[in-house]
Structure 1
Amino acid sequence: MLLLALDTATPAVTVALHDGDAVLASLSRVDARRHGELLLPAVDRALTEAGRTLAEVTEIAVGVGPGPYTGLRVGLMTADTFGLALGVPVHGVCTLDALAHAYRATGGPGPFTVATDARRKEVYWARYADDGTRTGGPAVDRPAEIAEQVAGMPAVGSGAELYPEVFRDIRPPALADAAALAAFAVERLAAGEELLPPRPLYLRRPDAQVPKNYKVVTPR
């Protein structure tokens, strides 16, 4: 196995390679405005660092969000393109689940919450049991609206960092990490479990909308 993992659902552009036993290479860069520009060079650097070629990739895992429309689309379209070109399966992973997996790998206590920045003064969030199993979400809400549901829990993610008055016990990591996403995917695949389809978890409509009641002009 050689699994290529990538995620662009948060401000981090993150790529990793996993051979089924361990992570061979992992690269991350935080730049929310340059996902499209940074992703392919990151894949190339990860392959070079691992001493592998793209033709050797046998599986692809991609973060499906939830996340902002534009950034999320970059990772998903890239994963789909690689999958079609190489003729290999493409698996989706909830980005919040990958963050939860990274937190559990540190031995952090549970139950816990993962929250990422959804903008508009909202967070994408989910709750997890001690063993990292998701027990609620993903959902998008204003932090004040979920304060009672997350009270007393450790919280992971950049969304939690933005609202310390709600998420009072903030733990790392803050952003998605493809190494954790790859490890999560490999673990589930080895157990014979199905992952998500590589389709976006937007949770809400995109900011860009078709204008209503616009005047249609047709030539005579």
Structure 2
Amino acid sequence: MLLLAFDTATPAVTAAVHDGTTVLAESTSIDARRHGELLMPAVDHVLREAGVRLDAVTGIVVGVGPGPYTGLRVGLVTAAAFGDALGIPVHGVCTLDGLAYAAGVAGLGGPFVVATDARRKEVYWARYDGPRTRATGPAVDRPGDIAAEVAGLPVVGAGAALYPEVFADVRPPADQSAGALAALAAAKLADGEEFLPPLPLYLRRPDAQVPAAYKAVLPK
């Protein structure tokens, strides 16, 4: 097994190579506006660091969100292209599940919450009973609207740090790790679990909208 994993659903543009047992190489850059510029160099870097060729990869693991439209589609389109070109499966994993798994590696049990920044003063979030057990979500909400549901629970993810009045017990990790995403996928493959389809989990309409007063111009 040789997995190439990446996720662009958050400001963390992250890629990793995993051999089914351990992370061979990982690269993460935090930049909310340069997913398209940073992903392929990150993939190239981890492949070279791991000492493997792209055509040796046996599976692609990609974070499917939830996340903003522009960044999320970069990873998903790249995953689809690799899968088609190499003739290998593309395994979709919820981005929040990757953060939850990383939290478990860091020693957090359960229950806890994962929250990432959804912009518009909202968070993408889910509640977990354990690192591999999602109890609710994913969903997108204003933090104040879910205060009662998350009260008293530890929270991981960069979205939590933006709203300390709601998320009082913020724990690491803050950012997505493709290494953790790949490790979770390897565990799921070993256990025969199903994956999500490699399709975007937006949860809401994109920020970019066609103007309501748009006027069609017809040729004369």
TM bucket, shorter chain:
over 0.9
**1:41-67 CA distances to partner (integer Å, 9 max, x unpaired)?**
111110110110001001000000101
**1:129-177 CA distances to partner (integer Å, 9 max, x unpaired)?**
0353000000000000000000010000011000111011100001110
Q: Is the 8 A contact 1:126 1:138 kept in 2?
A: yes
**1:90-111 CA distances to partner (integer Å, 9 max, x unpaired)?**
0100000000000011111310
Runs of 4+ displaced beyond 6 Å: none
Aligned residue for 2:159, secondary structure, equals: helix
CA-CA distance at 1:217 after TM superposition: 2.6
Gaps of 5+ in 2: none
1:136 maps to which residue?
Answer: 136
State how far apart, in whole Å, the 2-side matches of 1:7 and 1:149 are.
Answer: 27
2:31 maps to which residue?
Answer: 31
Superposed, 1:142-157 pairs within 5 Å as 142-157=142-157
RMSD over aligned Cα atoms: 1.0
1:89 maps to which residue?
Answer: 89
Aligned residue for 1:80, secondary structure, equals: helix
1:46 maps to which residue?
Answer: 46
State how far apart, in whole Å, the 2-side matches of 1:219 and 1:66 are.
Answer: 41
**How many equivalent pairs are there?**
220
Q: Is the 8 A contact 1:144 1:166 kept in 2?
A: yes
State how far apart, in whole Å, the 2-side matches of 1:187 and 1:109 are.
Answer: 17
State how far apart, in whole Å, the 1-side matches of 2:131 and 2:42 are.
Answer: 32
2:200 maps to which residue?
Answer: 200
* Counterpart residue identity of residue 210, structure 2: V
1:4 maps to which residue?
Answer: 4
Gaps of 5+ in 1: none
Aligned residue for 1:129, secondary structure, equals: strand
Q: Aligned residues: percent identity?
A: 70
Question: Is residue 2:189 matched to residue 1:189?
Answer: yes
Aligned residue for 1:217, secondary structure, equals: coil
CA-CA distance at 1:218 after TM superposition: 1.9
2:127 maps to which residue?
Answer: 127
Question: Is residue 2:178 matched to residue 1:173?
Answer: no
Q: Is the 8 A contact 2:114 2:126 kept in 1?
A: yes
CA-CA distance at 1:69 after TM superposition: 0.6
